[in-house]
Amino acid sequence: MTHLGSIILIAVYAVLAIALLYRVCFLYKKIKSAYKTPHPTHSPIYDDGVGVFFSHTIAGVLHTVLVLAFITMTAHSISSLLGIENELWDIIASVWAVGAIIAAMIFIMRRCFIRPMRFSTLSPSQRLDAYTILLLEIVSGATLIASIYGLQGFDTAHYITLASFAVYITYSKHLHIITAWIYRYLNRGRGVYDMERVSGVCAMMDMMEGKAASIDASTTTMGASNANELSRLDVLGVFSCTQCGRCVELCPPYLVGEEFSPMEITTRIRYSIEKGVNFYPDALDDNFISMCISCGACRAACPVGINPMKLLWEVKRYAHLEKGYMPSSYHTASQSTQNSSYPLPTYLDKR
């Protein structure tokens, strides 16, 4: 390699390293800025994330192969850079690289020809992201195999591909490759209907009704308008969403044709956190937050254990209790109840 080529290569490595460091610091600050997640107050409703994950057997096995292959290829590349070389280790890494290539190609063919319903729920940008990560897996596996078997220049190509992969996933939904494991472990004690912020709502109501003279200012927030007002675990959960679509398959509003899905909740909240804008009304408007029926099906369907319903409740409490938003149907029901003790409109409401 020429002197100029060496300089260019070093520059590429430096740019990728700086980009990765920047994103790691950015994500850490966003999670750190949220309030500390309190311990659960009761035992969670039982759920089996592993069972849910492998309920779609083919997808579950292929995803597992891709994740383990990525981890193995990364470990092999780091060991090679440190001068640790072993023939058995090369064979193991090569096998996983081949597995990654095969799994990625099966995914691409399934999505192009079979078109699973869950994949059809993704937006065009989300589909592009899904294909991009699969192509990166294929290129990573191919360049690793080529470098192990001595093809000149492919070791450099493999290192650059892996470094680009690492930077890319911090912007992608595939950040779950790293965060989902952590979130799943930390979230193991929380139930489907754990609502940490309800105590703040009760405290504010007590003060408004004269039952308490004053309360701690830290408890006056009754909902969430930005990442600072979510718990750290909730923010981590937003960045752990796999966008697998399992929650969408069971969501009643989505199934009857509404422009709403639990996956869209985490997607929009993540967008808000990334762009530094408020959840309500910038990302989740009045119409969107009113569609959830709070059935909890999304939480039961999630293999990672994310609770989109809880996230939306945080935003709804902010919209209702702090911003005063109320759907027109609520006013109608309230007026009808006052007139006739019945929430649906009757002839009494026409007087």
Q: Count the domains in the chain.
A: 2
For 296, counting Cβ atoms within 10 Å of its Cβ (0-12 exposed, 13-18 middle, 19+ buried), the class is middle
Q: Retrieve residue 103's tokens.
A: 């799994």
Average pLDDT over residues 275-283: 89
Examine the domain organization and report whether 209 and 301 are in the same domain: yes
Interior angle at CA 87, CA 82 and CA 90, nearest 5: 70
- Residue 231's DSSP bridge partners are 35
Examine the domain organization and report whether 202 and 301 are in the same domain: yes
Look at residue 202 and tell me whether its pLDDT is greater than 90. Answer: no
Give the number of C-alpha atoms closer than 13 A to the C-alpha of residue 186, restricted to the C-beta side: 17
Residue 145 pLDDT grade (very low, low, confident, very high; cuts 50, 70, 90):
very high
Looking at the domain assignment, is residue 291 inside a domain?
Answer: yes
Least confident of 62-66, 150-154, 283-287, 314-318: 150-154
Residue 29 corresponds to which amino acid? Answer: K
**How far is residue 51 from each of residues 57, 183, 184, 216, measured CA to CA in Å?**
10, 17, 13, 43
Examine the domain organization and report whether 68 and 161 are in the same domain: yes
Examine the domain organization and report whether 154 and 227 are in the same domain: no
Residues above pLDDT 70, as percent of the chain = 79
Examine the domain organization and report whether 313 and 233 are in the same domain: yes
Average pLDDT over residues 93-119: 87
DSSP, collapsed to helix, strand or coil, labels residue 32 as helix
Look at residue 278 and tell me whether its pLDDT is greater than 60. Answer: yes
By residue range, what is the domain housing residue 59?
Answer: 53-171
Taking alpha carbons only, the member of 194, 155, 161 closest to residue 307 is 194
**Cα–Cα distance for residue pair 122/115, rounded to 1 Å:** 11
Please write the tens of the pLDDT for every residue from 211-256.
766 665 555 667 888 888 888 888 999 999 988 888 888 899 999 9
Look at residue 45 and tell me whether its pLDDT is greater than 60. Answer: no
CB 299 within 8 Å of CB 187: no
Examine the domain organization and report whether 221 and 143 are in the same domain: no
**Cα–Cα distance for residue pair 33/15, rounded to 1 Å:** 27
Q: Retrieve residue 259's tokens.
A: 């422009």
Look at residue 43 and tell me whether its pLDDT is greater than 50. Answer: no
